[in-house]
Structure 1
Amino acid sequence: MDDQLWALCFLDEGVALSVISRKETRCQWLSGEEQARHYLLQDYLYHVAELGELDPDQTAAARERFELLMEQFPDPETLVEYLNDLTAGLTRILWFGPLRALAEDYGDFPLALRAHYWDEYGEGEEDPATPVPEADWPYLVEAMDDFLLHGDY
């Protein structure tokens, strides 16, 4: 599996959650950091604009704000905090970062995903915090959809 793979996973809040009584999560896998940041400024921003019913001027202002935050806070975790503040009540980014970090880091989201992964794919002896070996990353990617649907995050 490509060790440059990045993901943007987010949860639509507000109307979708209350009307259909289930999580509306999406996870977009991207070929690297550059493509991930481009996706954030294009597709994700337009999704937010649609959810918020923003007019073109408001969308342009949101783009400027997104660009400024991306410039000021290149660290994905910090950037996500600020973007989530901007999109509160519409959508919330659950993860923005590389697959390697999901497989190895000790943040809340990677740990929860790995606990789910080891529960589904492990032999019952693994510590839920155990990093996923690179050879098994395709299975971690597979586990993401089920985790987003049923996970507690």
Structure 2
Amino acid sequence: MDDQLWALCFLDEGVALSLISRKETRCQWLGGEEQAYHYLLHDYLQHLAELGELDEEQTLAARARFELLAEQYPDPETLVEYLNDLTAGLTRIVWFGPLRALAEDYGDFPLALRAHYWDDYGEGDEDPATPVPEADWPWLVESLDEFLLGGDY
């Protein structure tokens, strides 16, 4: 599996959630950091504009704000905190970052995902914080889909 992959996973919190009474999480896999930031600043922002019923001027202002935040806070985790503050009530990003970080980092989301992964794919004696070997990343990605559907985040 490509070690350059990044993902943007987000939860729609707005009207759709209240109508269907369940979480709707989307996860977009992207070919690297540059593509991930482009997706965040264009496609994800367009999704937000539609959810928030923003006009063209408001969308351009939101894009400028997103771009400024991305420049000021290059760390994905910090950037996500600020973006989630801006998009409260519409969407919430639950993960933005590289696949490698999901497999190895010790943040709340990667740890919770790995605990789920080892529960499903492990032999029962693994520490839930144990990094997932690169050869097993395809199963980690599969586990992510199940994890998001289960709403364990």
- TM-score of the superposed pair, with normalisation by structure 2: 0.98
Aligned equivalent of 1:114: 114
Where in structure 2 are the equivalents of 1:94-133 lying within 5 Å?
A: 94-133=94-133
Unaligned runs of 5+ in 2: none
CA distance in 2, matches of 1:132, 1:68: 34
Query: For 2:22, what is the secondary structure of its paired residue?
Result: coil
Counterpart code for 1:101: A
- The equivalences for 1:2-151 within 5 A come to 2-151=2-151
Q: How far apart, in 1, do the equivalents of 2:151 and 2:128 lie?
A: 14
Q: Which ranges in structure 1 are unaligned for 5 or more consecutive residues?
A: none
Partner secondary structure for residue 68 of structure 2: helix
Q: In structure 2, give the amino acid aligned to 1:36.
A: A
CA RMSD after TM alignment: 0.7
Counterpart Cα distance in 2 of 1:100 and 1:85: 26
- Deviating above 3 A after TM superposition, structure 1's stretches of 4 or more consecutive aligned residues are none
Report % sequence identity: 87
Separation in 2, partners of 1:45, 1:14: 15
Aligned residues: 153
Deviations 1:71-112 (A, max 9, x none): 111110010000001100000000000000000001000001
In 2: Cα distance, 1:126 partner to 1:14 partner:
38
Query: Shift of the alpha carbon at 1:151?
Result: 3.2
Distance (Å, rounded) in 1 between the aligned partners of 2:118 and 2:46: 35
Give the AA of the match of 1:28.
Q
SS in 2 for 1:74: coil
Q: State the distance in 1 between where 2:145 and 2:5 align.
A: 16
Measured in 2, the distance between the counterparts of 1:16 and 1:100 equals 32
